[in-house]
Amino acid sequence: MASDVFFFIFAGFAIACAISMVYHKNPLYSAISLVGVFIALSCLYVTLAAPFIAAVQILIYAGAIMVLVVFVIMLLNLDEDRRDNRLGFLYALGGGLGLILLAQTFFVFYAVMRAPQQAVNTAETAGKTMSIGQAMYTEYLLPVEIVGILLLMAIIGGVVMSRRLNQEQIEAVVDKELELRGQDEDKDDYRIAF
């Protein structure tokens, strides 16, 4: 009974934060509201007996991803945009899609309430840390390693793209690195077009 009350409290908080995220015109306020959505979802996962997913939700989404989003917002230095009336039809389209989503939500709620209740085996519950860890590092080891390499490539690409050096500065960096490595004979040999 208490878990049902907490579930509805956190669900309401998630919906309120989502509405706040869409409502605000300032992208920084929207990002902070999105952090509230992530925290509420994490609390929902705790009420559903999935502690690992709740911890990942906080660490990955509310922590790392939102730091990146806020960093990009600050990096872009967005000014206040003027209101453009050419895209007014999108409000009607968004309202219609919102009504369809609301109808789907009520249909899912109705279908879940009419479904027969089955007992849950707590020993085999998905979301436990032990079962997820065993699956990740036995059956799904290759996809986990591939995702790790892709994330490393994304980090390296982000670092390379964020550096704004002109040709002379890049050549100076390369020359200094070759000098530190003791490869002075390779200076001024730029085989890669920058």
Q: Which domains are delineated in the chain?
A: 1-79 (1.20.120.1200)
Q: Is the pLDDT of residue 109 over 90?
A: no
Question: Dihedral (C-alpha) 160, 164, 169, 174: value to the nearest 10 degrees?
Answer: 0
Mean pLDDT over 21-26 rounds to 86
Q: Would you state the pLDDT for residue 48?
A: 83
Among 45, 47, 48, 24, which residue's Cα sits nearest to residue 34? 24
Comparing 127 with 55, the larger pLDDT belongs to: 55
The H helix count followed by the E strand count for the chain is 8, 0
Comparing 105 with 119, the larger pLDDT belongs to: 105
Give 87's DSSP letter. Answer: G
- The Cα angle at residue 48 between residues 20 and 143, in degrees rounded to 5: 90
Mean pLDDT over 55-74 rounds to 80
Among 187, 166, 185, which residue's Cα sits nearest to residue 176? 187
Q: Is the pLDDT of residue 93 over 70?
A: yes
Torsional class of 136: left (φ above 0), alpha (ψ -120 to 50), beta (otherwise): alpha
The predicted model scores a pTM of: 0.52
pLDDT single digits (tens) 151-182: 888 888 777 766 666 666 667 777 787 778 77
Contact 47, 3 (CB under 8 A): yes
**Helix residue ranges, H only, the chain:** 2-23, 27-47, 51-56, 66-76, 89-114, 129-134, 141-162, 167-181
Q: Would you state the pLDDT for residue 71?
A: 76
CB atoms near residue 127 (< 10 Å):
14
